[in-house]
């Protein structure tokens, strides 16, 4: 996997940035990165690479040529995924694939990356267009999360996977320690899974009701994006939705077959 990441890095940025750090170039804007690098525990040798990781795409329209952080974010997303997956397997060798997947999705989704970025005070170091900065860009989850992943991508390009992995472990461990070991109910688990996959939120529809008034049976269907829908039956709308969420999670292999679901009102 490390080799695949290295090849991807070469394709995205060229062999020169992988094998040899490019010399820093003068820039009209001074980087405000010292507190950030101290919090990271890593000081970039290439200021050009660091600048790219901190530059939001909104700057692109203001300059004839500008290197923004989108490609580094793409790479950093993969670095983060591998580092977190490796850590979770290490920490809990007896966990099922479904349990690992739920924890993984919580830790790599946008909200988690934005939380790490805020802990680093990353917003203060971002390079944004004036309009983006004025609209609160330094506090937007999407911008913070993308820049956080871009920094991981830049570390990987400059220093390799081991260094990036060590930083991930340091920064994400507080989130791991504070995360619940189990999700309260299938609907919450399905929502977390959808967010972790970058998918729309689950949509529930009542598609059937039968039985006497004093003991009705409801049938609900849940759909997440283009994935095949799943159905569930229960004594209430909520119970049917929980059952449908459980069915979809099991179909995706992220909910153990023997796990109990909360089907109470």
> Please, what are the domains in the chain?
2-178 (1.10.1520.10), 186-251 (3.30.160.20)
> CA 63, CA 61: separation in Å to the nearest integer?
6
Question: Of 73, 132, 146, 149, which residue is the catalytic one?
Answer: 149
**Angle 13-16-17 (CA atoms, 0-180°, nearest 5)?**
55
What is the number of H-type helices and E-type strands within the chain? 12, 3
pLDDT at 194: 85
Query: In the annotation, is 149 catalytic?
Result: yes
- pTM more than 0.75: no
Question: Of 68, 77, 158, 192, which residue is the catalytic one?
Answer: 77
pLDDT at 171: 96
> CA 253, CA 202: separation in Å to the nearest integer?
17
Per-residue model confidence as pLDDT tens digits over 142-184: 999 999 999 999 999 999 999 999 999 999 998 887 765 555 5
pLDDT at 20: 43
**What letter does residue 160 receive in the DSSP assignment?**
-
All residue ranges of the chain with pLDDT < 50 are: 15-28, 262-265
Pairing of strands 203-210, 230-234: unpaired
pLDDT at 15: 47
Q: Which two tokens stand for residue 72?
A: 């580094």
Query: In the annotation, is 77 catalytic?
Result: yes
pLDDT at 7: 61
């Amino acid at each position: 996997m490390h080799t695949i990441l290295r090849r991807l890095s070469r394709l995205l940025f060229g062999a020169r940035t992988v094998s040899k750090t490019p010399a820093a170039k003068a820039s009209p804007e001074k980087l405000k990165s010292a507190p950030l690098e101290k919090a990271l525990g890593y000081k970039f040798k290439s200021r050009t690479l660091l600048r790219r990781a901190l530059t939001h795409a909104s700057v692109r329209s203001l300059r004839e040529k500008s290197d923004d952080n989108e490609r580094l974010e793409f790479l950093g997303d993969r670095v983060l995924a591998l580092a977190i997956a490796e850590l979770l397997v290490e920490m809990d060798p007896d966990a099922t694939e479904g349990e690992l997947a739920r924890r993984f999705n919580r830790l790599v989704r946008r909200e988690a990356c934005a939380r790490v970025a805020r802990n680093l005070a990353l917003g203060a170091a971002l390079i944004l267009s004036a309009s983006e900065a004025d609209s609160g860009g330094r506090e937007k989850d999407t911008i913070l999360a993308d820049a956080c992943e871009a920094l991981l991508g830049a570390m990987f390009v400059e220093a390799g996977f081991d260094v990036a992995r060590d930083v991930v472990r340091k920064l994400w461990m507080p989130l791991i320690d504070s995360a619940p070991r189990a999700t309260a109910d299938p609907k919450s688990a399905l929502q977390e899974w959808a967010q972790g996959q970058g998918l729309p939120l689950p949509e529930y529809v009542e598609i059937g009701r039968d039985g006497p008034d004093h003991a009705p049976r409801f049938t609900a269907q849940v759909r997440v994006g283009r994935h095949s829908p799943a159905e569930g039956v229960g004594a209430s709308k909520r119970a049917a939705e929980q059952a449908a969420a459980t069915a979809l999670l099991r179909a995706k292999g992220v909910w153990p077959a023997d796990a109990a679901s909360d089907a109470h009102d």
